Amino acid sequence: MILNFFTIITLISVFLTTILSLFFFVTKKGFSNENKILAILLLIFNFQIIYSFVTSSYAFQYFLDWHKSIFLVRQTSFLIGPLIYFYVNSFLKRKDIINYRSSFHFLPFIGVLLFLIIFYRNINHFIIWESIVDLYDTILILAHSFIYIVLSVLSMKSMNISFRGFYKRIKISSHNTWLQFLLLGFIVIWIVNLNSFAIFMIIRRPWWCAYTASIFALTSFLFANAIMFILLLKPDAYYIITKYKNNKLKEDDKKEYLQRLSSYMETNKPFLNPEISLESLANEISVNPRILSQVINETFHKNFKGYILEFRIKEGMQMLQDSKYSKLTILEILYNVGFNSKSAFNNQFKLYTNLTPQEYRSKHIE
């Protein structure tokens, strides 16, 4: 019953990752190059799910002639690390990272393939879990993936990485959080693989393979569903800046518009007006609405609504912790900061602070 359940989970995981791969291959939203890198990454990840399932199946021992071929498929694991690294840097527009010299990142994959092809010619009988090559290969894959995870994290260091509260940031359309989420997913999968391998090396029981495959399948299933969830919840989280890719804005002009915006927001607090719109704010600071939208998206990694909401929540936080506003009710405060609905204020406030407005006030005012 357990094996049947995880077989179903594995099949669903393969189906979902295949659909996601096809989606990123054909979608017109977002940057084409980044989408194709992610599509290839998901496709190769799919190979690992299939490999894990096939090698853990007890029936597979009757098809020993396939071990050489399926072990070659496993070596695509050496592509996952570089592709994650390329995707992160391509998304962040690090053109100096991805160039004609980038091919050296694929040398470990090519080298291992060449080694195995030569190795296979000298042996007739190859069983994956009985060969010492499997041990060294697994260690190399884990070390190789770890190196690229570290490199990817370092590439994102300017983004103030925090894996806490990513749901909150996804809700306000932070595309940086999309990158953090993908990286977190692959880190979790790497940890699952590492621990599964460690346990197998300690107990040295072949039947452990079936359980590691089940754990891997379940992790992959959850990861694929989480990606689907985000795409449905906030599709603009992963392509939010791409609507401006053909609208080149000079850096000096951008700084000037940003200065106007910041000064006006701080001095006039237009966000307190519940009827504020992108057009009205743009008109107040004499900037084209589309350009203002671009400045907000590219600078703060938020859309206009998320940008205004953050100002309103911060204003509400200041009022709730200031004793001179202690006589105002929560309802009065939310109207003062530009909200029209108590439920909307409560929901957004809790997304930002993990507390309700009343809890926040009680914490800061005795």
Rounded CA separation 295/301 (Å): 9
Looking at the predicted structure, is the pLDDT value of residue 50 above 90? Answer: no
Rounded CA separation 27/272 (Å): 38
**pLDDT confidence of 115, banded at 50, 70, 90?**
very high
Predicted local distance difference test score (pLDDT) of residue 214:
64
Structure-block tokens of residue 172: 């306000």
Most trustworthy range by pLDDT among 211-225, 227-241, 265-279: 265-279
Q: What is the pLDDT of residues 285-332, one digit of tens each?
A: 988 888 888 888 878 877 888 889 989 999 999 999 988 888 889 999
Predicted local distance difference test score (pLDDT) of residue 337:
92
Give the mean pLDDT of 42-55: 83
Give the mean pLDDT of 78-84: 89
Structure-block tokens of residue 41: 């990454």
Give the mean pLDDT of 265-286: 91
Which secondary structure element, helix H or strand E, spans residue 293, and what is its range? helix 289-300
Instruction: Compute the half-sphere exposure of residue 335: CA atoms within 13 Å on the CB side of its CA.
Output: 5
Residue 18, Cα to own-chain centre: how many angstroms?
18
**pLDDT confidence of 271, banded at 50, 70, 90?**
very high
pTM over cut 0.75: no
Q: Which domains, from first to last, does the chain contain? A: 2-238 (1.20.1070), 243-364 (1.10.10.60)
Looking at the predicted structure, is the pLDDT value of residue 112 above 90? Answer: yes
pLDDT averaged over every residue in the chain: 79
Please tell me which residue, 272 or 92, carries the higher pLDDT value: 272
Q: Which one, of 16, 19, 24, lies nearest residue 40 by Cα? A: 24
Structure-block tokens of residue 19: 């659909």
Task: Tell me which DSSP letter residue 107 carries.
Answer: H
Predicted local distance difference test score (pLDDT) of residue 299:
81
Rounded CA separation 331/339 (Å): 9
Structure-block tokens of residue 91: 């998304």
Please tell me which residue, 112 or 97, carries the higher pLDDT value: 112
SS3 126: coil
Q: What percent of the residues of the chain are helix, what percent strand, and what percent coil, each to the nearest 5? A: 80, 0, 20
Predicted local distance difference test score (pLDDT) of residue 3:
54
Please tell me which residue, 265 or 354, carries the higher pLDDT value: 265
Give the mean pLDDT of 56-85: 80
Predicted local distance difference test score (pLDDT) of residue 125:
80
Q: Which one, of 312, 317, 320, 321, lies nearest residue 344 by Cα? A: 312
Amino acid letter for position 49: I
Predicted local distance difference test score (pLDDT) of residue 336:
92
Percent of the chain's residues with pLDDT above 70: 74
Rounded CA separation 356/354 (Å): 7
SS3 32: helix
Confirm if 312 and 357 have CB atoms less than 8 A apart. Answer: no
Please tell me which residue, 299 or 18, carries the higher pLDDT value: 18
Structure-block tokens of residue 314: 């911060």
Confirm if 209 and 129 have CB atoms less than 8 A apart. Answer: yes
The sign one gets for the Cα dihedral 37, 38, 40, 45 is: positive
Percent of the chain's residues with pLDDT above 90: 17
Q: Which one, of 137, 139, 183, lies nearest residue 157 by Cα? A: 183
Rounded CA separation 70/35 (Å): 27
Please tell me which residue, 8 or 309, carries the higher pLDDT value: 309
Rounded CA separation 42/13 (Å): 11
Predicted local distance difference test score (pLDDT) of residue 198:
61
Looking at the predicted structure, is the pLDDT value of residue 240 above 50? Answer: no
Rounded CA separation 157/27 (Å): 29
Confirm if 199 and 208 have CB atoms less than 8 A apart. Answer: yes
Predicted local distance difference test score (pLDDT) of residue 96:
54
